[in-house]
Amino acid sequence: MAYPFELGFQDATSPIMEELLHFHDHTLMIVFLISSLVLYIISLMLTTKLTHTSTMDAQEVETIWTILPAIILILIALPSLRILYMMDEINDPSLTVKTMGHQWYWSYEYTDYEDLNFDSYMVPTSDLNPGELRLLEVDNRVVLPMELPVRMLISSEDVLHSWAVPSLGLKTDAIPGRLNQATLTSTRPGLYYGQCSEICGSNHSFMPIVLELVPLKHFENWSSSML
């Protein structure tokens, strides 16, 4: 999860988020190089006598500054499209969970089980136990198996919401009358926090999401106890 004064992304927990971090670093390096080049040219023009004014009319210069930006855009677009296709691809999910947004809480339904569903409300500050996080803790966590593909079906029953868990690289809109889907795979166990990322009313800030990723054996024990 995030920590105070954090400047970068949260630590990646899924392969998709790792790819997004690599793409971010790749793009940021390109932006840094372009910015450095522009700053160098500006400083050079301000401090150097323009003895070669005819250079600006040269065909070679115009060719270079037309082709070079196109190459840079291709270097950014290709990995971006690759990650977009990876995020949309769902290969035989082991579990499907339906998520419904409400004002202002989430409800979850494990569709592979006959009667496994619950609502997830934020725990009020006055009811928090020592070590629990204010505005992020919920009364019912979403327990999922780690290292297995999980399909999330996301919708809403009233207004627009957005189901987002940054460390897993997930952010999917919950739209009334429409069923969106996302896939997640966690590489390690732990608690992962998120929040509604679409302004949905007065209590928009009080719709946290908590995923508890556990080994498959622990998930089976939990699901048996819930039924």
**Is the pTM of the predicted complex or chain greater than 0.85?**
no
Give domain status of residue 51, yes or no: yes
Query: Domain end: 88, 115, 142, which one?
Result: 88
Cα distance between residue 198 and residue 205, in whole Å: 10
Give domain status of residue 167, yes or no: yes
| For residues 195-219, average pLDDT | 92
| Per-residue model confidence as pLDDT tens digits over 16-69 | 999 999 999 999 999 999 999 999 988 988 888 766 666 656 677 788 888 999
| For residues 136-151, average pLDDT | 93
Strand spans (E) along the chain:
95-102, 105-110, 117-120, 142-145, 150-156, 161-165, 170-174, 180-184, 190-196, 208-214
Predicted confidence at residue 54, as pLDDT, reads: 61
Tally of structural domains, the chain: 2
pLDDT of 172 > 90? The answer is: yes
And the tokens for 226?
């819930």
Query: Domain end: 88, 116, 135, which one?
Result: 88
**Ramachandran angles phi, psi of 201, nearest 5°:** 135, -170
| For residues 137-159, average pLDDT | 93
And the tokens for 43?
């400083």
| Per-residue model confidence as pLDDT tens digits over 78-115 | 999 999 998 888 878 999 999 999 999 999 999 999 88
Cα distance between residue 195 and residue 131, in whole Å: 19
pLDDT of 5 > 90? The answer is: no
DSSP 8-state class, residue 129: P
Which candidate, 137, 144, 26, 20, places its Cα nearest to that of 82?
A: 20
- What domain range includes position 78? 15-88
Query: Domain end: 27, 62, 88, which one?
Result: 88
